[in-house]
Amino acid sequence: MAGNRQIRALNVAEKPSVAKAVSGILSRNQARVREGRSRYNKIFEFDYTIRGQPIHMLFTSVTGHLMELEFDDRYRKWHSCDPSELYQAPVRKTVPQDKLDIKRTLQQEARSCQWLILWLDCDREGENIAYEVIEVCTEANRNMNTWRARFSALIDRDIHEAVQNLDRPNQSFSEAVDARQEIDLRIGASFTRFQTMLLKDAFHFDFATEDRNLILSYGPCQFPTLGFIVERYWEIQAHEPEEFWTINCSHNSEEGTANFSWMRGHMFDYTCAVTIYEMCVEEPTATVTMVRQQEKLKYPPYPLSTIELEKRASRYFRLSSEHTMKVAEELYQSGFISYPRTETDSFSARTDLRAIAQEQQAHPVWGPYAQRLMDPEADLWRNPGNGGHDDKAHPPIHPTKFSAGESGWSQDHHKVYELVVRHFLACVSQPAVSAETTVEIDIAGELFSACGRVILAKNYLDVYRFDTWGGSFIPTYMLGQQFAPTTLTLDSGVTRPPPLLSEADLLSCMDKAGIGTDATMHDHIKKLLDRFYATKDANTRFSPTNLGESLVMGYDDMGYELWKPYLRSKMEDDMKAVSLGTKRKADILASCLQEMKACFLDARLNKVKLFEAMGIFFDRTNRTGAEEQQTIGGVVRRCGLCQQADMVLRRRQDGKFMVGCLGYPQCRKVVWLPGSISEAAVTSNTCNVCSPGPVFLIQFKFRRLEIPPNYSVDHLGCIGGCDDTLRQLTEICGTGPRNPPGTSASVRGQAPTTTSGRQAPTTTSGRQAPTTTSGRNPASNVQRGVCSHCRQTGHSSNGCPSQVSTSGRARSRATNHTNGGSSVPCNSCGEPCELRTANTANNRGRQFYSCQSQECRFFVWEDTINDGGVGQNASHTNARGSNATSGRRGGRGRGRRGGGGGGRGNDTTFVSATGEPVSGRRCFSCGDPSHFANACPNRGM
DNA sequence: GCAAGGTC
C-alpha cells in the first residue's frame, strides 16, 4: 500500500497491448496485474520514480475511442426530421453501452489518484481519445493533474524518456478530430437518409436483399472509393481500340537470337510507319551503334506498412484487404507479429533487427536463409531502407515470435505470417544484382535496341519468392559490327483499355487521395460490397454494380463531385490547419457545413437526376417516398399524431400545398391548405394560442382571382386550429389548385377527404389516402388517364412502350446484349443489330442500335426509330455523338486507311501479323513491285 | 437503419 504522501497516478493507454508493454518496461516486468470491469482492459500496478518523486502507478487502457458522436434523441429516428436539419441538429458525445465497463473502471480508479497520465497514440485520434479519457476521469475526480506521455516506439529508452518529460495534452489536435467527426456524421447521415428514403422504394432493384432494410449510404470515404471504381469502369467503356504499328527486327547468330525493338515505340499513322519501314527494307544492313554493359540493382521492398501488407496479400494470395486485416489481427493478438495497423515503413535505429532475424533461423523453409543472413561472411545483411513514413506510434509490421506454423492456423494465417517474415528478411538483405547489356543498332537511320540480363546475385530474391527478376539472353555484339537482319517486320497492334481496378490498385488510389486511414481503408472497400455498390471478381478486380454506377452518375449529372476525393482532401487540409492552430475549429465547421448544406439542398432540388440515372438501370415502382414531395419550408410543428416527427410545409408535384408529417408513410397526418395559395413560407413567428407549441406561422400569398374580394392576398396564418381565415378559405376554395384549361378534373383528381372541401385545417385525424390501394383512390385515375412514365395518353405506365424497354435497357448497358424482341436490322448487311446504351456526357443512358459487324458502320438512336430517324442518323452520328465517318467505331487505323488520301495497295504486302519475315518488295501505294511508295509516281495524288 | 475513427 502506498504511503499517505505518495502520489498515485492513473496511466491510460489506447489499447491493452500498450498498457501491458509500457508497464512491463517501466516496472521491469515487476508489475502486478488485476482485473478491471472490462475483461480486455487489465490494470497493472507498480512503483516508479518520476524526476525523483516516487509514484504509485496504476496502468490501464481503453480500446480506441471511448465515446461516440450522435444526434440528440429528438433527431435519431430517420423520419424525425427533415434530413437538411441534420446540419444544425444538436449532437453530443456519449460513451456507448459496450464501453461503459471501461468508463466505470476509469472512474473508479481515478477517485484514488491525483495524477492522470495519458499514453494514447501520438496522432490526432490519440489526442482526441485523451480528451475523452480526461472527461470521464475528471467527472469522478475534479482535481486530477493531467499529463501527456509522448512516445514514438514501445522501446525502453523512448518510454523512460516519455515519462520523465511529461507534457500537456494538445487541444488543437483533439479539436481537429472533433470537427472531422461532426462533419462526417452530419454529411453522412443527411445524405444517407435522403438517398435511401428517396430511392429505395421507388425502383425494383434486381439484386436480392434478404434484408428488407436496404440502405443507400453516403459517406465521405465510401463514395470517393466507389468513384475510383466507376471512373475506371467508364474509362474502359469509353475506350476505342486504336491500331498502331511498330517495326521489329531479329538477328540469329551462332550464339543465339537477339530481338531488337524499335526505339520509336509505335506509330498510329500507318502511312508514316510504312514509309519508314520501306526505307529500312530498302537498306536493311544493321550497324551496331552502341554496346553498354551495366550493373543493375533490384532493391528489396521497404519495411511493411499496413497498406503494403494489404496490397501484397491481395496480389500474392488474392486475399481481400478486409480478410488480411482480420488474419493479421489474430496473429497480432496471439503474439506472432507486431501491431498490424501502422503507417510506418522505416525501422527505428534502436530496433534490434538482428534479434528478429535470428529467431527465424529454425524455420524449415526460410531458416537456412536467415542463417546465411546472420553469417558475416555471406555479406547478405543490409540495414533496411526508409520508406519515409512514420506514424510515431508503431514500428513496421514484423515477426515478433517464431513459428513454423501453429495447429490452429488456417492456410491464410500461414500465408500472412510467411509474408510478414519473408518481407522482413528481404528488407534486411542486400539487393539483387545483375549485369545488363544493351545493344543499339541503326538500320537506314532508324534506331533499334535489344537488352540482355544476367543475374549475378539473387540476394533478397532468394527469400522473397513473390518478387521476380527475369534474365534474358543476348548474343555478343561489337561496336561498329554490321549484319543483315534475319527478320524485319512491320507489325500491327491495337491499344487496349486499362484493366478494372484491382484491390491493390484501389488501395493505392485511396492512399494517394488520403481516403481513409491504414486502419479503415479495408472497411470502406468492404462497405461498397455490402451495400451492393460494387462487386469483386476472382481476380480481385472491382466493377460497379448498376446501383453504384447510377448513384455516381446521378450526382455526376448534377455537376457535383461528391463522388470524387476532393471533398475529403479539402477536409483533411482543414483538419491539419486546425491541429496546427492556423484555423479555428468553429470556423472550419461553420464553413464546411454551410457549404455541404447548400450542396445537400441543391442535390435535393436536382433529385430528378438521380431518378433519371436509376431509371436507366431499374424499373420504377409506383410507390413514392415522402422525399418526392417538395419540402418548401421548415418545420411547422411537432406531429400530434405520431408524436415522433415534425410536420413540414410541402408542395406536391400537382401544386397542392400541405403540412405533412415527416414520418410519412408510417404516419399519414396531413393538413391540406387552400387551393388558392400561390406562395407559402414558414416564418419564425409562433402562434401564442395553439398548443402544444411551438406552432410556426406561415406566410401565405393567395391568388386574387380565386378568393373573395373581402380577403387579403397576404395572410400570416396558423395551421394549429385557431385561424378562421384559413379555415374559411379552405371551405371556399377547396384544397386543390385550379386545373389549367383542357386538363380534366379526373386527371388531376383530388383526394376523397378533400374534394368536398369539408376538411378543415384543424382536422386532427387528417389521414392521407393511400396512393396505391383501391380504385377509390384518385391517384389511379391519373394512372389510367396519362402514363406516368412517358406522359402520353392512351396507355398506362404498365403498358408504356418506353417503360417496357427499361429493363432491357438496364441489362444492355451492363452486358450489351441484343434485345431480341424488337431488334432493328442493319441497313447494310441485314443482320439484327445490337441494342446498346451510350455513355457520353451528352447522351448517357440513351440507347442505340448498331451493327455487330465492325465493317458496317450502321447506327441509329433507339428513340428516333419511330420518327423515321434510321436513315437520317445512321450516316452521320454515332453513339458517342461524333461523326461516324471518322471511323471511330471501326478503329482509327481502319478509318484512316479506308478514307486516307494516299490510297493503298495490299495491306498485307509488308505486314506480317504473325511475325514472319516480310514477304516482298512492292509499293504500298499502287502495289507495283517495281518501286516503293516513296518513289511511286502516284504519290501525292 | 446513417459517417469515420479508434480497437477487442
Identify the band that residue A745 occupies on the pLDDT scale cut at 50, 70 and 90.
Answer: very low
Q: Are residues A363 and A481 in the same domain?
A: no
- Cell numbers 443489330 correspond to A833
Flag whether A355 is in a domain. yes
| pLDDT surpasses 70 at A82 | yes
Looking up cell 447522351 gives A843
Percentage, residues of chain A above pLDDT 90: 58
For the cut 60, the answer to whether the pLDDT of residue A165 exceeds it is yes
Q: Which of A169, A186, A207 is the last residue of a domain?
A: A169
Q: What is the pLDDT of residues A845-889, one digit of tens each?
A: 556 556 555 444 455 556 656 443 333 332 222 232 332 222 222
What is the distance between the alpha carbons of residues A425 and A371, in angstroms, rounded to a whole number? 11
Task: Judge whether A201 lies within some domain.
Answer: yes
Residues A100 and A144 in one domain: yes
What is the nearest nucleotide to A516, using C1' and CA? B4
In terms of C-beta density within 10 A (0-12 exposed, 13-18 middle, 19 or more buried), how is residue A68 classed? middle
Phi and psi (nearest 5°) for A700?
Answer: -105, 150
- Locate A847 and state its grid cell: 440507347
Chain center to CA of A375: 47
What's the Å distance between residue A420 CA and nucleotide B1 C1'?
39
CA–CA gap between residue A48 and residue A7 (Å, rounded):
10
At residue A78, the pLDDT reads 92
* Residues A107 and A25 both lie in one domain: yes
**SS3 call for A655:** coil
According to the model, what pLDDT value does residue A852 have? 55
Distance CA A79 to C1' B3 in A: 18
CATH code assigned at A347: 1.10.290.10
Do strands A677-686 and A696-702 pair parallel, antiparallel, or not at all (unpaired)? antiparallel
The predicted model gives A575-581 an average pLDDT of 91
Domain containing A468 — which CATH number? 2.70.20.10
Taking the CA of residue A94 and the C1' sugar atom of nucleotide B3, their distance in angstroms comes to 16
Give pLDDT, residue A836: 57
Instruction: Report the phi/psi class of residue A593: left, alpha or beta, with left for phi > 0 and alpha for psi in -120 to 50.
Output: alpha
Kindly provide the residue ranges of all beta strands, DSSP E only, lying in A580-713, ordered along the sequence.
619-620, 630-638, 646-651, 657-661, 670-672, 677-686, 696-702
Tell me which range, A158-162, A622-626, A743-747, is most confidently predicted by mean pLDDT: A158-162
Q: Is residue A160, in this structure, part of any structural domain at all?
A: yes
Taking only the tens place, the pLDDT of each residue in A246-282 is: 999 999 999 999 999 999 999 999 999 999 999 999 9
The answer on A877 and A858 residing in a single domain is yes
- Rounded distance in angstroms from the CA atom of residue A916 to the C1' atom of nucleotide B3: 61
Query: Closest residue to B2 by CA to C1' distance?
Result: A189
Query: Looking at residue A932, what is its pLDDT?
Result: 43
Domain count for chain A: 6
Any idea what the CATH number is for the domain that residue A62 is in? 3.40.50.140
- Domain-ending residue, one of A556, A584, A617: A617
Residue at the smallest CA–C1' distance to nucleotide B6: A64
Nearest by Cα to A567 from A604, A600, A592: A592
Q: Is the pLDDT higher at A548 or at A920?
A: A548
- Using the predicted structure, report yes or no on whether residue A367 has a pLDDT greater than 80: yes
Residues A86 and A154 in one domain: yes
| Nearest nucleotide from residue A91 CA, by C1' atom | B3
Query: What is the predicted pLDDT for the residue at A716?
Result: 87
pLDDT given at position A366: 97
Any domain includes A679: yes
Contacts of A475 (CB under 8 A, 6+ apart): A251, A253, A254, A255, A256, A257, A258
Q: Where are the alpha helices (DSSP H) in A36-116?
A: 100-110
Is residue A792 assigned to a domain?
Answer: no
> Nearest-CA neighbor of A391 among A252, A221, A476, A518?
A518
Asked if A487 and A917 touch (Cβ cutoff 8 Å), the reply is: yes
Name the nucleotide nearest A215; use CA and C1'. B1
User: What local confidence, expressed as pLDDT, does residue A584 receive?
Assistant: 95
Whether A424 and A437 share a structural domain: no
Of A409, A430, A451, which closes a domain? A430
* Separation in Å: B4 C1' and A10 CA: 29
| pLDDT value of residue A812 | 31
User: Which of A60-64, A611-615, A937-941 is predicted least confidently?
Assistant: A937-941
pLDDT band of residue A670 (cuts 50, 70, 90) is confident
Q: Tell me the CA–C1' distance in angstroms for A19 and B5.
A: 21
Mean of the per-residue pLDDT values for chain A?
79
Closest nucleotide to A217, Cα to C1': B2
> Where in the sequence is the domain holding A222, given as residue range(s)?
178-238+500-617
> Do A95 and A74 fall into the same domain?
yes
For A394-438, the DSSP string reads -PPB-B-S--S--TT--HHHHHHHHHHHHHHHHHTBPPEEEEEEE
Amino acid present at A864: T
A621 alpha-carbon distance from chain centroid: 29
DSSP at A934: G
Query: What residues are paired with A442 via a beta bridge?
Result: A287, A447
Q: Beta strands A145-148 and A115-119: pairing type?
A: parallel
Strand B nucleotides within a 7 Å radius of protein CB atoms: 1-8
Residue A251, SS3 per DSSP? strand
A656 burial class (0-12, 13-18, 19+ CB within 10 angstroms)? buried
Same domain, A17 and A110: yes
Asked whether A711 and A725 are in contact (CB, 8 A), the reply is yes
A746-792 pLDDT tens trace: 222 233 332 233 233 322 333 332 222 222 232 222 222 333 333 33
Q: What is the pLDDT of residues A281-328, one digit of tens each?
A: 999 999 999 999 999 999 999 999 999 999 999 999 999 999 999 999
Does a structural domain hold residue A937?
no
Is A930 contained in some domain?
no
Are A426 and A437 in the same domain?
no
The string of pLDDT tens digits covering residues A119-145 is: 998 889 999 999 999 999 999 999 999
Rounded Cα–Cα distance for residues A229 and A237 (Å) = 12
**How many angstroms separate the CA atoms of A587 and A844, rounded?**
40
Give the CA-to-C1' distance from A76 to B2 in angstroms.
10
Quick check: is A920 in a domain? no
- HSE-up (13 A, CA, CB side) for residue A11: 30
The closest nt to A75, taking CA to C1', is B2
Q: Are A125 and A194 part of one and the same domain?
A: no
State the catalytic residues of A. 339
CATH code of the domain in which A591 resides: 1.10.460.10
Report whether pLDDT(A394) > 80: yes
Q: What is the mean pLDDT of residues A551-566?
A: 91
Task: Identify whether residues A232 and A321 lie together within a single domain.
Answer: no
A940 has pLDDT over 60: no
Looking at residue A793, its pLDDT comes to 35
Q: In this prediction, what percent of chain A has a pLDDT beyond 70?
A: 74
Q: How is residue A241 annotated by DSSP?
A: -
Closest by Cα among A107, A104, A174, A169 to A137: A107
Q: Assess whether the previous peptide bond of A692 is cis (omega < 30° from 0).
A: yes
- Domain shared by A335 and A412, yes or no: yes
Question: Nearest nucleotide to A339 by CA–C1' distance?
Answer: B7
Residue A730's pLDDT is what?
Answer: 76
Q: Rounded to whole angstroms, what are the CA distances from A809 to A194, A383, A652, A812?
A: 26, 59, 30, 5
